[in-house]
Amino acid sequence: MLKIFILSGTILLVVLFLILTYNARHKMRQQALKNKMRGNIINQLLGMGNYFIVYYDMQTGLFTNLYGRKIPEEGINFEQFLSFCHPDERQTIKKEMEQLMAGSNDEWEVLNHWNLGSDEKSDWQLIRGDVVSEKLRNGQVRGLVATLKNVTEEMNQLHEENILVNRYIKIFDSLLVAMSFYDKQGLLLDMNVSMKELLNITEENEKFFLEIRLFDIPLFHDDIDPDNPSEMYVCQHACYPELNYDKYIEYKISPLFNESGELIYYIVTARDITDERQTYFNLTQQNKKLQSFNETIAHYEQQLEYILKKGNMFVFHHDLKNNIVNISHSLSKAEYVMTFEEYLGLHFEEDRKRVAEHVQKAIDDHRPTNSIRHFHHTPVDEGSVWYAISTMPIYDDNKQLTGYFGVLRNITDLIEAQEQLRIETARAERSGRIKSAFLANMTHEIRTPLNAIVGFSDLLHVIDAPEERKEFIRIILNNCDMLLRLINDILKSNDAANEQLAIVPTDIDFAVVFNDIWQSLSQRVDMPDVVFLKDNPYIRFFTSLDKGRIQQVCTNFVTNAVKYTKHGHIKLGYCYKNGGLYIYCEDTGAGIPKEKQASVFDRFVKLDTEVQGTGLGLNICRNIAKQCGGDIGVTSEGEGHGSTFWIWIPCERYEAQKLQVINTTKN
């Protein structure tokens, strides 16, 4: 009878250890409720069996209590742990533990004398149990779990085993884990209620399971070797048409040996994974479909992002609830996030109020928007840019407006092209008007001298008086000269319009050059009541100027004065002031109204339609002043008070010695 109780206690110990192992390996597959109940059962079993569990952490190098308080709460290291072992057994224990730590063995059956729980070193207690290694997924040992029990007092142990056997009978039938026992010949000894329910065992078909050996069950026939029993896991499709049974079952078959290493029993635990398998299968199919959908969405999103970037466009989202504006090249992320006020701040100040009112009106009316906005800057543009914005309202499940979604497109190039087109169109229209005005003026101006030349030429052959012929010839020559100057002004005006006036300064004595210019122009002042005066304040005036352009300006000034001066004088003079040459032409002619003085240098301007002129000479003078970096203007007290035309050209006045040095250097 004692042997039966001892054997039963041993079986119970193995069962408890298998339950712990099973729970450790399958805890992720169990539902929360089952885990909790199983934990309670394990704690009850451990408490009933007087077990204690010690854990060795490889990282900290400490043994700690997992269950029971057999070692100090702060833990002990490996050397301290060995000091609790019997001296004769320490090397064996150390060797076995090191093999577990190294991963060489997965478990070790403990049967040693330890001194745990006593202050007397001579009080050695026999400890029995198992130590298993806890491994990570990569196979590295993380720690050791030791399930141990003190078996020193045999009589007390027998009593405890009897209690455990009685409890086992209750627990065995109440366990949620389906479990059955087979003898070493493979015949069924017992099974709990969970196993009967799992296999749909009734009084009618129970005989089938009692008569068939474990080795002959079709599910295990090719897997179990009776001559070499070992622990094994099997997941099989259990199909018994004669029993109306079709399930997927996960089995664990564990042989149980006595202390002599002889096989005693087979313990079989099982779990129905039919629903779990179907769920997993469905989940796998759903994951494949979801993955396919995600890949398709990612592909389309990649294409959309490419189109948006190449098209210089952005996705626009205005979240009304949070008052947030998101702008991005992608639908899956927001690259630029800002408040609506910050978004308004990107606009020019004079546009912000109008934009805010436009947005608010669209929100009030729940209508889409299409607008063109001028931004002072944006998160991606430093300068001012134009964007076309198109948005549509979005609603929640309750039909409430939650925001606006749309597209922003950079149209700065389009706006600039339109503005350039407008400018070019205006320029073309202005050029057309100028061309028409030019042709009209030229037609009138050229016709006037030509009519005089042709008319007086036709009369020459009928004039006999020498004085009259001389006068006619003079008139013809004057009109020829006028026509020549007219054509020359037209050509020069065209050069000035195209900004092709070349300025070539040379070292000159402007006092001498001025005298020559005045002398040549004196022949043009041939009105009997007009005196041509000269103002040359210098005997020598050495400088560097384009004397041809200066003569051209003086000629235009004097010619213009001759046209409008009938009495009085015309005075041509110059002086050096403000670092430049100041040349002026003063006359006592018709004068210029103050409101017209600003336009006299424009092309085709005529203050008196009765006076001949192309309206180009003064315009040419202004271009010469511009090319030289100088200035030009006119002063007049008004009509009837005469006028003074002047030009100022920057230059440096040299001394004679300095001019000689400059000329020597240039040579």
DSSP 93-113: HHHHHHHHHHTS-SEEEEEEE
Give percent above pLDDT 70 in the chain: 74
pLDDT 10s digits, 111-170:
777 776 544 445 677 777 888 888 887 888 888 888 887 777 654 556 666 666 666 666
Which one, of 478, 482, 553, 474, lies nearest residue 513 by Cα?
A: 553
Higher pLDDT, 95 or 43: 95
- Residue 110 — pLDDT band, cuts 50, 70, 90? confident
- Residue 379 — pLDDT band, cuts 50, 70, 90? confident
Could you say which of 410, 444, 465 is where a domain stops?
410
pLDDT for the residue numbered 589: 87
Q: CA-CA distance, 578 to 573, in Å (whole number)?
A: 16
pLDDT for the residue numbered 665: 40
pLDDT above 60 (res 2): yes
pLDDT for the residue numbered 649: 93
Residue 50 domain-assigned (yes or no): yes
For residue 55, what are the β-bridge partners? 64, 145
User: Do 46 and 137 share a structural domain?
Assistant: yes
Residue 57 domain-assigned (yes or no): yes
| Axis crossing angle, helix 547-564 with helix 617-628, rounded to the nearest 10 | 150
Which one, of 332, 297, 298, 334, lies nearest residue 319 by Cα?
A: 334
Instruction: Work out the mean pLDDT of the chain and round it to a whole number.
Output: 77
The strands making up 324-328's β-sheet, listed across from edge to edge, are 336-339, 324-328, 313-319, 401-410, 385-395, 369-375
- CATH number at 573 reads 3.30.565.10
User: Do 249 and 377 share a structural domain?
Assistant: no
Could you say which of 158, 176, 194 is where a domain stops?
176
User: Do 167 and 196 share a structural domain?
Assistant: no
Q: CA-CA distance, 354 to 659, in Å (whole number)?
A: 67
Residue 487 domain-assigned (yes or no): no
> How many domains is the chain partitioned into structurally?
5
Say if CB 381 and CB 352 are below 8 A apart. Answer: no
pLDDT above 60 (res 643): yes
- Residue 376 — pLDDT band, cuts 50, 70, 90? confident
CA atoms within 13 A on the CB side of 347: 16
pLDDT above 50 (res 654): yes
User: Do 399 and 448 share a structural domain?
Assistant: no
- Residue 553 — pLDDT band, cuts 50, 70, 90? confident
pLDDT above 70 (res 604): no
Please give the residue range of the domain that contains residue 622.
Answer: 501-659
Residue 301 domain-assigned (yes or no): no
User: Do 96 and 12 share a structural domain?
Assistant: yes
User: Do 582 and 442 share a structural domain?
Assistant: no
pLDDT for the residue numbered 587: 93
Output the CA torsion 601→604→608→609 (10° steps): 180
pLDDT for the residue numbered 49: 61
Residue 65 domain-assigned (yes or no): yes
The helix (H) or strand (E) run that includes residue 648 is strand 643-650
pLDDT above 50 (res 660): no
- Residue 186 — pLDDT band, cuts 50, 70, 90? confident
For residue 126, what are the β-bridge partners? 113
User: Do 258 and 332 share a structural domain?
Assistant: no
Higher pLDDT, 301 or 83: 83
Comparing 109-113, 309-313, 354-358, 378-382, the range with the smallest average pLDDT is 309-313
- Sign of the CA dihedral running 122, 127, 132, 134: negative
The helix (H) or strand (E) run that includes residue 191 is strand 188-191
Higher pLDDT, 436 or 544: 544
pLDDT for the residue numbered 219: 67
Q: CB within 8 A of 211, min separation 6: which ones?
A: none
Mean pLDDT score, 603-624: 62
pLDDT 10s digits, 398-435:
888 888 888 888 888 888 888 888 888 888 887 777 67
Q: In this structure, what DSSP letter does residue 655 have?
A: P
Q: CA-CA distance, 382 to 386, in Å (whole number)?
A: 12
User: Do 626 and 511 share a structural domain?
Assistant: yes
Helix (H, G, I), strand (E, B) or coil at 288: helix
pLDDT for the residue numbered 34: 61
Higher pLDDT, 477 or 13: 477
Residue 280 domain-assigned (yes or no): no
Q: CA-CA distance, 190 to 195, in Å (whole number)?
A: 10
Could you say which of 142, 160, 176 is where a domain stops?
176
The helix (H) or strand (E) run that includes residue 237 is strand 232-240
User: Do 386 and 325 share a structural domain?
Assistant: yes
Higher pLDDT, 321 or 524: 321
Mean pLDDT score, 180-195: 81
Helix (H, G, I), strand (E, B) or coil at 28: helix
- Residue 667 — pLDDT band, cuts 50, 70, 90? very low
Mean pLDDT score, 222-233: 77
Higher pLDDT, 337 or 486: 337
pLDDT above 90 (res 332): no
Q: Which amino acid is at 61?
A: G
- CATH number at 262 reads 3.30.450.20
pLDDT for the residue numbered 170: 63
- Residue 613 — pLDDT band, cuts 50, 70, 90? very low
Residue 642 domain-assigned (yes or no): yes
pLDDT above 80 (res 449): no
pLDDT for the residue numbered 44: 63
User: Do 227 and 194 share a structural domain?
Assistant: yes
Q: CA-CA distance, 66 to 43, in Å (whole number)?
A: 11
Higher pLDDT, 84 or 153: 84
Report field, pTM of the whole predicted structure over 0.85? no
Mean pLDDT score, 614-642: 81
Helix (H, G, I), strand (E, B) or coil at 349: helix
User: Do 215 and 67 share a structural domain?
Assistant: no
User: Do 211 and 158 share a structural domain?
Assistant: no
pLDDT for the residue numbered 544: 92
Residue 149 domain-assigned (yes or no): yes
